[in-house]
């Protein structure tokens, strides 16, 4: 931390308080510049090109919730009946805000740089002053038209204002205490001069938008500064890796050098791969760190790297604080310049900066890596703090970094025929064209855009701008030419949309479709292009299927909210086509009414975002829900599924009581189920889900799949299989996949699981991911998988799955052998948890305890996995009847939403042991409602009531728990046994005798024989009580 906040260690004798304040101010400006850089990087083209809304509607499947189970992700989904917007490409706009911000940060950086120059030697002062003068000269200030003159009045005034004063500061005001007493004063003087010149420009410049002239004509020097700064710091990420590795190494560390080499190699491979992708040599579709992100990292950590480089430049300046000011000034200028290029979508300039960053980071990063190993490998291996002396080479001098890197740079630039130079000129002329466009001088703007295309013929900004200018003058043929050029290189989806619109306006439908398909191939994640093509298909006879396909593709890709639409999907709803997604009906126009709010809700649902609007009762009828009113209420309830607003749920209850809503009741029932699940009322949710599935299991696979996923969430795989089997039979690909997953969890269903996975694997029409998963799973569930698979060659996930799906055939020795081969601590923990659960399910807590106690010395566990381990510990303690230990552990358990019932259950057990019956009962009941299929919870609640003499409540709980099963053959044996004993306790002999007969059918013979003896004893007691009239 001391090294991080190095300025806190500056002594007042070295750095005055005013200098420190000035440094902190500059550092703060630098921080803001970094933030704005990331905003520009993230939004980029979105600042200047926007989509104009067109209307499209469609039902959309949305994710209500997700959960992970055994390394599979499951989604609770529902159809949200939405109105989706389409888009028309807008004209490219000018980003005046970016211009203002760019000038503010640029001028701030230049002022700090000039202030710094006044404290350097005469030679270096003249170097920086010359750069400053060059910047002023490149502004072409005569174009601003001061006082009706075309002379360089502004340049003369600026030179007279800055240069004599700066020279005076440098030549005559640099006493030993001069810096300490005058740094802030000099900065303030230069700032006032700059503000005065700005006011002068604002008052007397005769052109409109003079800031555009200053920003764009004067960008050459900032570009050069930026590229130089990038090259100067291109090795800093490798240097940062060296710092992290060596600073964290202890004397006992054994692999410091290896860690450094591996991490550096990964980084260099990332940069090399990015370079290979940029030149079109490879495209392996693997993730890599974006070039501009690398720059951001470099510019941030470079400040500390520049401080450690003081040994190289201390003859020119000291870092504290002159060097710090110098670095931050260059960094602010560089950040502002790149941000401006990004925020104005000036793709030739963006390419210049992109390539400069990429090439220099590869060249100088690799050379620095070699330099560090050549000079300091033994010291790195010996765990020395090498970063402290990295710039004091032992063998290879530091200059060789630039020599070797320069050679590599020369190779890379020469390979591109130095096209980067042409791109820089094209970017410069694009800026000038923007300037004249801002002044509404379309002729000059057009000429400069054309000049830019002379240097970079297919740059997007020039051609797109020329295309929009051509459209303004109805020059369709030129617009075709320019937009076609715009799609060649650094294109955007907007160009394809513009071309499609041009083709459509001229009745060239086929060409419009082909062009949009080309755009989609290039931008598969452009929801706007998919929607536009869908609209074309929807307006063409016999192409409804294709239209629906592209709407489906676009649905998850759209990001904007607040749409108003009432066309295609309004027709789908009106014609009750919800269960027939292959049909598309009439398109309607945009309406600002019920459908508008409905559309907004759907967008929220699609993005899992919550609307802040209140339920609009004006849209809703008192009783019968139809069409749009149904969609609005359904979508609003789905959006607010976790909201406790009583108005929503009272209206839901009201509508469910109206018999005339019978045809739409399944939608209301679905909302009720999801609502109960969201608030932990799973008892009611499961009961209603079972009813809904029973009535629709032969019609729609959706409900079987949903019910199956809800059972998987609670580890109730037998019931999940029941539901998912029906979904799979109705040719639901997702239902079949989940069916196979559920089957794989039960050893007795292993043959069926292999059959289903094999079917998926061989299904050429199945999703490729599903087929891959099937082939992978077949490796682990095959009867001979343990013998056939080479354990050592498997990755950790595969080892975990091998254990998970073969618990029943693994001895503890085999389990431990596989476990010790798992390297990732999280997978070790998960495998151990599985083993513990396996033994607990077999009612062998002692064996589970042995496994748990063997788990020691594992570090690096994620918080989520740590919580899973705590839950396993609580379950183990429960089986071991160590209630006191549960009380000690329960407060550290931070459950996920679907595990909250366990915490309530274990807390209730502890409170019950402490004689806190009231709170224990409350938590028992809450846990019972949250996890109604966990038989231990229902049974413990019944025992709790029996201990308090509330036998009727105990009986009711057991009946309630059993009522969740549609057939007695599904009853958990232990729960049914307790129910039988409870019947006897209540003197319900007939019920008990009927149940004991059924128990014989479902219980293992030995268990039944043992329980039958208990039953005979207890029923004899009952008969004795009855004879004695007790």
For 23-73, what is each residue's pLDDT tens digit? 899 999 999 999 999 999 999 888 888 877 654 444 567 788 888 888 899
CB 794 within 8 A of CB 802: yes
Burial class (CB in 10 A: 0-12, 13-18, 19+), 592: exposed
Structure tokens at 875: 């379950």
CA dihedral 549, 552, 553, 555 (to 10 degrees): 160
pLDDT, tens digit, 9 for 90 and up, residues 207-249? 889 899 999 999 999 999 999 999 999 888 998 888 888 887 6
Q: What is the per-residue pLDDT for 81?
A: 75
Split at pLDDT 50, 70, 90, the class of 891 is: very high
As a whole number of angstroms, the distance between CA 106 and CA 289 comes to: 27
pLDDT surpassing 60 at residue 584: no
As a whole number of angstroms, the distance between CA 338 and CA 39 comes to: 12
Domain extents in the chain:
794-881
pLDDT, tens digit, 9 for 90 and up, residues 486-497? 888 877 888 888
pLDDT surpassing 50 at residue 569: no
- Regarding predicted confidence, which is higher, 593 or 9? 9
pLDDT, tens digit, 9 for 90 and up, residues 403-427? 888 888 888 888 777 778 899 999 9
How does DSSP classify residue 10?
-
Structure tokens at 744: 């794989």
CA dihedral 46, 47, 53, 58 (to 10 degrees): 30
Split at pLDDT 50, 70, 90, the class of 862 is: very high
pLDDT, tens digit, 9 for 90 and up, residues 187-196? 999 999 999 9
Question: Which residue bears the tokens 């005058």?
Answer: 182
CB 648 within 8 A of CB 615: yes
- Regarding predicted confidence, which is higher, 145 or 996? 996
CB 571 within 8 A of CB 600: no
Mean predicted confidence (pLDDT) in 770-785: 87
Split at pLDDT 50, 70, 90, the class of 551 is: low
For the entire predicted model, the pTM comes to: 0.57
Split at pLDDT 50, 70, 90, the class of 543 is: low
Inter-axis angle of helices 153-172 and 178-204, to 10 degrees? 170
């Amino acid at each position: 931390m001391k090294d991080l906040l190095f300025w806190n260690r500056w002594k007042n004798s070295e750095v005055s308080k005013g200098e420190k304040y000035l440094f902190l101010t500059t550092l703060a400006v630098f921080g803001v510049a970094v933030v704005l850089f990331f905003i520009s990087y993230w939004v980029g083209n979105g600042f200047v090109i926007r989509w104009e809304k067109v209307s499209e509607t469609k039902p959309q499947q949305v994710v209500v919730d997700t959960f992970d189970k055994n390394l599979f992700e499951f989604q609770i989904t529902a159809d949200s009946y939405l109105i989706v917007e389409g888009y028309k490409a807008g004209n490219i706009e000018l980003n005046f805000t970016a211009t203002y911000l760019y000038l503010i940060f640029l001028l701030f950086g230049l002022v700090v740089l000039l202030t710094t120059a006044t404290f350097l030697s005469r030679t270096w002062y003249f170097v920086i002053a010359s750069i400053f003068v060059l910047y002023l000269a490149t502004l072409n200030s005569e174009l601003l038209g001061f006082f009706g003159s075309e002379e360089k009045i502004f340049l003369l005034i600026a030179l007279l204002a800055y240069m004599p004063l700066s020279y005076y500061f440098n030549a005559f005001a640099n006493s030993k205490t001069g810096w300490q007493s005058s740094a802030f004063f000099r900065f303030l003087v230069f700032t006032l001069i700059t503000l005065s010149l700005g006011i002068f420009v604002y008052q007397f410049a005769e052109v409109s938008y003079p800031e555009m002239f200053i920003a764009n004509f004067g960008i050459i020097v900032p570009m050069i500064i930026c590229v130089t700064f990038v090259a100067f710091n291109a090795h800093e990420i490798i240097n940062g890796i060296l710092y992290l590795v060596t600073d964290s190494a202890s004397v006992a560390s054994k692999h410091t050098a290896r860690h450094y080499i591996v991490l550096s190699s990964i980084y260099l491979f990332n940069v090399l791969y990015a370079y290979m992708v940029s030149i079109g040599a490879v495209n392996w579709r693997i993730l890599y760190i974006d070039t501009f992100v690398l720059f951001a990292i470099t510019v941030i950590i470079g400040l500390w790297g520049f401080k450690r480089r003081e040994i190289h430049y201390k003859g020119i300046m000291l870092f504290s604080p002159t060097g710090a000011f110098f670095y931050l000034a260059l960094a602010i200028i560089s950040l502002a310049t790149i941000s401006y290029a990004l925020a104005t979508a000036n793709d030739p300039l963006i390419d210049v900066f992109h390539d400069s960053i990429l090439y220099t980071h590869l060249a100088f990063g690799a050379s620095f890596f070699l330099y560090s190993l050549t000079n300091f490998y033994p010291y790195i291996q010996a765990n020395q703090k090498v970063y402290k002396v990295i710039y004091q080479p032992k063998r290879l001098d530091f200059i060789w970094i630039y020599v070797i890197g320069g050679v590599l740079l020369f190779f890379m630039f020469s390979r591109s025929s130095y096209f980067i130079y042409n791109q820089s000129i094209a970017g410069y002329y694009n800026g000038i064209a923007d300037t004249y466009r801002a002044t509404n001088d379309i002729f000059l703007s057009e000429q400069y855009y054309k000049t830019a295309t002379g240097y970079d013929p297919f740059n997007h900004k020039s051609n797109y701008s020329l295309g929009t200018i051509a459209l303004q003058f109805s020059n369709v043929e030129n617009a075709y030419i320019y937009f076609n050029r715009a799609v060649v290189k650094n294109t955007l989806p907007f160009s394809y949309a513009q071309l499609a619109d041009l083709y459509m306006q001229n009745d060239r439908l086929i060409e419009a479709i082909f062009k949009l398909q080309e755009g989609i191939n290039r931008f598969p994640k452009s929801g706007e292009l998919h929607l536009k093509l869908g609209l074309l298909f929807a307006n063409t006879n016999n192409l409804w299927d294709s239209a629906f396909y592209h709407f489906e593709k676009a649905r998850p890709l759209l990001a904007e909210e607040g749409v108003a639409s009432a066309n295609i999907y309004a027709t789908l709803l009106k014609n009750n086509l919800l269960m027939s997604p292959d049909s598309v009906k009439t398109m309607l126009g945009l309406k600002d009414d019920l459908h508008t709010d409905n559309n907004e809700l759907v967008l929220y649902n699609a993005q899992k975002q919550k609307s802040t609007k209140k339920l609009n009762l004006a849209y809703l009828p008192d009783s019968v829900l139809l069409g749009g009113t149904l969609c609005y209420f359904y979508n609003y309830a789905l959006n607010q599924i976790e909201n406790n607003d009583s108005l929503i749920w009272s209206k839901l209850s009201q509508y469910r009581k109206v018999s005339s809503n019978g045809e739409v009741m399944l939608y209301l029932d679905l909302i009720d189920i999801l609502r109960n699940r969201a608030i932990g009322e799973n008892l009611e949710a499961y009961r209603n889900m079972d009813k809904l599935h029973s009535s629709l299991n032969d019609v729609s696979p959706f409900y079987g799949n949903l019910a199956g996923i809800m059972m998987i969430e609670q580890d109730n795989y037998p019931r999940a299989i029941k539901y998912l089997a029906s979904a799979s039979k109705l040719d639901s690909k997702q239902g079949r996949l989940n069916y196979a997953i559920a089957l794989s969890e039960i050893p007795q269903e292993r043959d069926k699981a292999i059959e289903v996975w094999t079917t998926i694997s061989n299904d050429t029409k199945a999703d490729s991911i599903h087929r891959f998963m099937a082939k992978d799973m077949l490796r682990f569930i095959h009867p001979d998988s343990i013998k056939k698979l080479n354990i050592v060659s498997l990755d950790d996930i595969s080892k975990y799955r091998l254990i998970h799906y073969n618990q029943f055939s693994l001895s503890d020795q085999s389990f431990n052998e596989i476990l010790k081969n798992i390297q990732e601590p999280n997978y070790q923990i998960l495998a151990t948890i599985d083993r513990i659960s396996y033994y607990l399910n077999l009612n062998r807590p002692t064996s589970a305890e042995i496994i748990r106690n063997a788990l020691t010395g594992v570090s690096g566990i994620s918080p989520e996995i740590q919580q899973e381990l705590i839950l396993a510990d609580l379950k183990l303690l429960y089986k071991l009847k160590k209630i006191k230990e549960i009380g000690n552990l329960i407060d550290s358990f931070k459950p996920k939403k679907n595990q909250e019932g366990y915490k309530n259950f274990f807390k209730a057990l502890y409170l019950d042991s402490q004689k806190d019956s009231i709170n224990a009962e409350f938590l028992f009941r809450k846990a019972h409602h949250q996890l109604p299929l966990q038989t231990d919870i229902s049974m413990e609640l019944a025992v709790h009531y029996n201990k308090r003499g509330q036998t009727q409540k105990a009986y009711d709980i057991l009946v309630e728990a059993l009522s969740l099963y549609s057939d007695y053959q599904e009853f958990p044996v232990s729960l049914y046994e307790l129910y039988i004993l409870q019947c006897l306790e209540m003197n319900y002999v007939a019920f008990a005798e009927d149940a004991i007969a059924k128990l014989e059918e479902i219980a293992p013979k030995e268990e039944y024989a043992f329980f039958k003896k208990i039953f005979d004893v207890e029923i004899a007691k009952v008969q004795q009580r009855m004879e004695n009239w007790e």
